[in-house]
Amino acid sequence: MPPPRRRSSQLPVIMSALNVQVFLRRALAAFTYRDFRILWLGAFTSTVGTWIQKVAQSWLILDLTKSAFSSHEAPGRTMSAFYLGLDDFLGQLPILLLTLIGGVIADRHDRRHLLISSQYVQMATAFTLAALVFTDAVRIWHILALSFTAGLAQAFGGPAYQSLVPSLVDRKDLPNAIALNSIQFNLARVIGPLLAGGMMAAFGIALCFGINGLSFLVVILALVSLRVKHIRPTEHKPMLQELQGGLAYVRSQPAIMGLTVLAFLTTFLGLPLLTFLPIFASEIFAGDVSRYTVMMAYSGAGAVVGALVIAWLGRFKRMGLTLLLVQLAFGALVTAFAVSRVLWLSHLLLFLDGAALVMVFSLTASLVQLIVPDHLRGRVVSIYMVAFRGGMPLGSLWGGYAASLTSAPFVLAVNGGLVSLVSVYFLLRGRGVKEL
């Protein structure tokens, strides 16, 4: 008697379910660690609040500059681009100036305590901006000053956070943890802008800043509940000597030097894409804040997909070569977005841009963390962060100034071509990255 057909027809379904389980087990490996799960959820909540504020703050700057320079239409557009770039520059400037010191401190002191202090400062700046907007007292200089203050907190909290994550998982799962950390950041980049658009339309812009302030309480509670123990260093050298030790190590490692240069150039040339999105939404496609939030959501959704791919891959051979090839594609996508005037095509390119950008960042950060020894982690990661985060303000400031002389699309088109040329240079010259 032949076996029932129904049972055989169920076999592909069962195999498909098993494949999904294997994929999820591999892609979410770092979630098996309790402390990593708690920190991830706290960071995700806070990052959603941060993106809510970022969208609201960019649109607020756009409105303030348009009203201040409304007598001449062209100056109003160019000043909007300039102040958007200036705000991003001032928010990232302390990271460029003080992160190296923050890295030394992260190697000396309890990283959780440093992070908690950083969250309190950023929470205070968000509530201050909410109060200024609610009372209709906000001015451009208020926004710029508060961005700089929040950047000061991030200069010390950033190295502490990046150094804390490797202590929460086994070394074999470190690339997966870094990729999942990228997922929380970019998933928040999808949800945050959409929430911001709804809040701004229904309740006004002040609520966005207040919600961001409240979100910091969640990550503070998460940090307090971690079970990781701080191991004090056996000896304390002078801060300058420890800083010099970290710099000497980076100089002695061509691969880390190459990754650091790549991180700087990618953020310097590629991140103005996000800085100028309000310009594209309002000027190129004649939309309002909802169009801006949708464009941000497409970019964030692509970033989540890119991070999932890296999380699934984990640690694999030829990570360096893969990094350079993805960066080459990212540059081409940036240029294509800059010249596109078709809305659906621009959305698709933003999705692909987001995926490629996060794959580049996740691969670069994973390779740095895998190379560096633990006793130098804070200092070396801080040097990498200076390059990675330092490229953002410098690129935004230069991009904003260049856009005020030409246009945002022209600047992005040139930047995209330069990103691809950087990748070609490293593919041809090597410098230790291609071989990783």
Q: Which residue would you say has higher pLDDT here, 186 or 230?
A: 186
Let me know if 66 is exposed, middle or buried by CB neighbors in 10 A (0-12, 13-18, 19+): middle
For 131-145, what is the mean pLDDT? 92
Whose CA is closest to 170, among 54, 32, 66?
32
- Do the Cβ atoms of 330 and 419 come closer than 8 Å? yes
Q: How far is CA 436 from CA 76, 177, 256, 363, 419, in A?
A: 48, 19, 10, 11, 20
Q: Which residue would you say has higher pLDDT here, 146 or 182?
A: 146
Q: Which two three-digit tokens encode residue 343?
A: 């809305």
pLDDT at 317 (0 to 100): 80
- Residue 2 in any domain: the answer is no
Q: What is the distance between the alpha carbons of residues 1 and 305, in angstroms, rounded to a whole number?
A: 48
Domain CATH number, residue 151: 1.20.1250.20
Q: Which two three-digit tokens encode residue 74?
A: 């062209």
- Residue numbers of the domain that contains 382: 29-429
pLDDT at 74 (0 to 100): 47
What pTM was estimated for this model as a whole?
0.71
pLDDT at 135 (0 to 100): 92
- Residue 360 in any domain: the answer is yes
Q: What is the distance between the alpha carbons of residues 263 and 391, in angstroms, rounded to a whole number?
A: 8
At a CB cut-off of 8 Å and minimum separation 6, what does 312 contact? 23, 26, 27
Domain count, the chain: 1
- Residue 9 in any domain: the answer is no
Instruction: State pLDDT tens for residues 8-57.
Output: 555 555 555 556 676 667 778 888 889 999 999 999 999 999 989 988 99
- Residue 313 in any domain: the answer is yes
- Residue 348 in any domain: the answer is yes
- Residue 325 in any domain: the answer is yes
Whose CA is closest to 158, among 365, 435, 394?
365
Instruction: Of 125-134, 192-201, 235-244, 329-338, give the lowest mean pLDDT range.
Output: 235-244
Instruction: State pLDDT tens for residues 381-406.
Output: 777 777 877 777 778 778 888 887 88
The phi and psi torsions of 432 (rounded to 5 degrees) equal 85, -15
- Residue 23 in any domain: the answer is no
- Residue 406 in any domain: the answer is yes
For 181-197, what is the mean pLDDT? 82
CA 116 to chain centre: 20
Question: What dihedral do alpha carbons 312, 317, 323, 328 form, nearest 10°?
Answer: -110
